[in-house]
Amino acid sequence: MAVLEVGSHHCYCKQERHATKLVVLTGGPGAGKTAVLEMARRVFCGHVTILPEAASLLFAGGFPRHPTEAGRRAVQRGIFHIQREVERLAVEESHAAVALCDRGTIDGLAYWPDAPESFWHDLNVDPQSELSRYDAVIHLETPLANGGYNNQNPLRSESAYEARIINDRILAAWKDHSRRSIVSSTTDFLDKAVTALKRIASELPTCCHGRSTEVIESAAPKA
């Protein structure tokens, strides 16, 4: 197994500011999103900013979680608006080349208890306009039960079957995005992570490629 080199955040780019792209990293439970985001934090230069997950911010603040349809709608409305504001702040103030989003507003469709049309109506949002806010979407697929899925995380209650259902609902939610790419699960998770990191790196301006490309290539398994 290859070892991911942890290097400095040195960057060959001489620009202090960039127009910020919003790039979504999403996927079903157990897909490895948290691990890839942590690798991205260590690999990429300061022109990549990693945004916090809106759901974690919401629940950390004590938002009630009611197991009813009204409760699920309330949670998804809250997540949607927090996500929007976190992204807006990144675009207006970070000057990063890429703001890497821990899920995006469209993910809410996968958890909405009613038809997709009611999601857009309830939030008073046009679906095409919302999709177009994101420059790229990278979907990490949830592994099958015999392909590496586990629910050892105490915050993860889904079985492998339930996790795949959520994974497929998220895939369907983002299906109309013109630049959505899917990273399949592999026996060695590092293979999958390196593929995802390369997809993220491809969204960076050329002047930021130097250090990140070197580190990602060092992590790639050798033939």
Please count the structural domains in the chain.
Answer: 1
111 assigned to some structural domain: yes
Rounded CA gap, 91 and 133, in Å? 11
Q: Is the pLDDT of residue 2 over 50?
A: no
CATH of the domain at 29: 3.40.50.300
Confidence of residue 17 (pLDDT cuts 50, 70, 90): confident
8 assigned to some structural domain: no
188 assigned to some structural domain: yes
222 assigned to some structural domain: no
What pLDDT digit, counting tens, does each position of 90-129 carry? 999 988 999 999 999 999 999 999 999 999 999 999 999 9
15 assigned to some structural domain: no
Q: What is the mean pLDDT of the chain?
A: 86
Exposure b/e, 75-109, CB count within 10 A at least 16 = b: bbebbbebbbebbeebeeebbbbbbbbbbbbbbbb
Q: Length of the chain in residues, anyone?
A: 223
Query: What is the span of the domain harbouring residue 170?
Result: 21-217
138 assigned to some structural domain: yes
What pLDDT digit, counting tens, does each position of 27-44 carry? 999 899 999 999 999 899
Confidence of residue 211 (pLDDT cuts 50, 70, 90): low
Q: Give the pair of three-digit tokens for residue 101.
A: 């989003």
Q: Which residues have C-beta within 8 Å of that of residue 156, sequence separation ≥ 6?
A: 29, 30, 163
Q: Give the pair of three-digit tokens for residue 204.
A: 């960076």
Rounded CA gap, 223 and 121, in Å? 51
7 assigned to some structural domain: no
Percent of the chain with pLDDT over 70: 82
Of 195, 135, 125, 139, residue with least CA distance to 169: 139
- Any idea which of 2-11, 16-25, 73-82 has the lowest mean pLDDT? 2-11
Q: Give the pair of three-digit tokens for residue 122.
A: 């309830």
179 assigned to some structural domain: yes
